[in-house]
Every structure is written in C-alpha cells, then in structure tokens.
Structure 1
Amino acid sequence: MADVNTLKWRIITQFQKRVLNPVTTRLPSQTLLETVGRKSGEPRVTPIGGQRTGNQFRLVSEHGEQSNYIRNIRANNAVRLRLHGMWHTGTATVLPDDDAVARLAQLPRLNSAAVRVVGTDLLTVRVDLVDRETSSLQ
C-alpha cells in the first residue's frame, strides 16, 4: 500500500473506531455485521452498508484485507447481519474477483459514495442469509 493510502487508512480507521462506529451501532436503522473475533472468539459488531437481494446481502469493504471484519470472516465465515432491526444468520464469502467499483454502482448511493471517498482497497463480500434469529454467534 502506498504511503498516502497508509496515512488515509490510519486516519479513517481511528475516526471510525473512536467516533463514528460507537454512534452508528446504536442507531436502530443501521445495518450491522457481527463476526467472531479471530483472536478473542468474542462477537465483533461493525456498521456496514450494502443491499439485500433475495437471500443474499452484498457489501463493499472500504479497506479490503486490512479490515478486521474481513480478517474475522477469513477465520470464521459464520456471521450475523442486522437488517431493519432483525438479526439474520448467514455465511460470508469474500469475493476478490468481483469488480468492487462496479458493485458500488449497484448499491445504495450514499453509502457507496462514502466508501469511494474513504476507501483504500475495495473488496466485495456476499453474505448468504440462512434465517432470522435473536441470539449472538458462538
């Protein structure tokens, strides 16, 4: 990663971690992705944007393989997704061969614009939804 992208990534991830995520995870309308921490084994919740089509949900990770939730998915692809206040179980698949820029054109505009602006290494993820549930991942 180039030095400019490294600096951009550091600034953005710190802002998200300390300011944005604590606020947005509390919003009932925010879509959330819950993964299992690859080191801790504890549930990790990340606010995301994307779109559901049938039993699939697609999103674009703005920092690709550097995103902790991508690393967690690589270690354990069992996830939960909160959509419209309801939790759904699913299986996440990282799609490195998908054209993430083209995918953003198919997803909601506001989130896609933000991902384009702050993104350093775009990567598409597909979540195959299984069912609705209310308990945390184990």
Structure 2
Amino acid sequence: MSSYAETKYRAVTAFQRRLNAVVRRLPGQTLLETTGRVSGLPRRTPVGGRRTGDSFWLVSEFGERSQYVRNIRADPRVRVRLRGRWYPGTAHVLPDDDPLARLRRLPRGNSLAVRAMGVGTGLLTVRVELEGQGTES
C-alpha cells in the first residue's frame, strides 16, 4: 500500500471510530454485528448497503483490512439490523465480485462515501444471506 493510502487509511479509521461510537446508537442505522475474533464479544459496525430478497449486500471500503471483514473470516455468523429488526445470517466475502459495479446498485449516499474513503485501499464486496423474519431490537 502506498504511503498516501496508508495515511488515508489511518486518518479515516480514526475518524470513523469516533463517529461510529455515536452513529451505532441511532435507531434507524443499519448495523452489522460480528463476533470479535480475539475477544469473542459482539462487535457492531454501522454499514450502508441494500437488502435484495434474502440477501444484504455491502462494500467494505478497506477490504481485508476492515475489522468486520477479519471477524467474518474467523466466524461468518452475523446479524444485520435493518429498520429496527435484527436478522441472523451468514456473511460471505466475495473477492471476485466487482465492488465498483456493486456500489452502483447500492444506496447512492453510502456508495459515494465508500468510494471517497476507500479509493486505493481495496474495496471488497460482502453478501449476507439473511435467515428468518428478524426480531425487534
């Protein structure tokens, strides 16, 4: 990774860490809950994406460097909170999917942010196969 990309990664992740602490508490925010690969504790990350049928699609702006992607690699069982309901599911990291093409099919605002923050850092598509009807949060 270039020094520019590394500097950008550090700056954006520091900003996101502070912002996510507030955003994850908002009732309408979509959250991805993974299990911490070291701690074993639930880790909730605000994400943007779109539900299509029984799948939820998102693009990680930092690819394999994203903590939630690392957690998914260790344990693909996740939960996604959509519109106040939690859905269990199984996450799949899709390195062969075209993340830029995928972003064109996801909500515009989030896609613009992912493109702006993730340029040069290895965008990566994630699909979550949702199970069940979901439960209230």
TM-score by length of 2: 0.95
After superposition, give the CA deviation of every residue in 1:37-76 in whole Å (9 maximum; x if it has no partner): 0000000000000000110000000000000000000000
Runs of 4+ in 1 over 2 A off after TM superposition: none
What are the ranges of 5 or more consecutive residues in structure 2 without an aligned counterpart? Answer: none
Equivalent residue letter for 1:14: A
RMSD: 1.0
- Measured in 1, the distance between the counterparts of 2:136 and 2:20 equals 21
- Measured in 1, the distance between the counterparts of 2:41 and 2:26 equals 22
Contact (CA 8 Å) 2:48, 2:58: kept in 1 or not?
yes
Contact (CA 8 Å) 2:76, 2:90: kept in 1 or not?
yes
- Measured in 1, the distance between the counterparts of 2:81 and 2:105 equals 20
Aligned to 1:6: 6
- Measured in 1, the distance between the counterparts of 2:112 and 2:13 equals 17
Contact (CA 8 Å) 1:89, 1:133: kept in 2 or not?
no
Aligned to 1:125: 126
Contact (CA 8 Å) 1:31, 1:47: kept in 2 or not?
yes
Equivalent residue letter for 1:109: R
Aligned to 1:61: 60
Q: CA deviation at 1:133?
A: 3.4
Paired residue total: 134
Equivalent residue letter for 2:4: V
Which deviates more, 125-134 or 104-113?
A: 125-134
SS where residue 23 of structure 1 aligns? helix
Aligned to 1:15: 15
- Measured in 2, the distance between the counterparts of 1:78 and 1:50 equals 18
After superposition, give the CA deviation of every residue in 1:106-126 in whole Å (9 maximum; x if it has no partner): 000000000000012200000
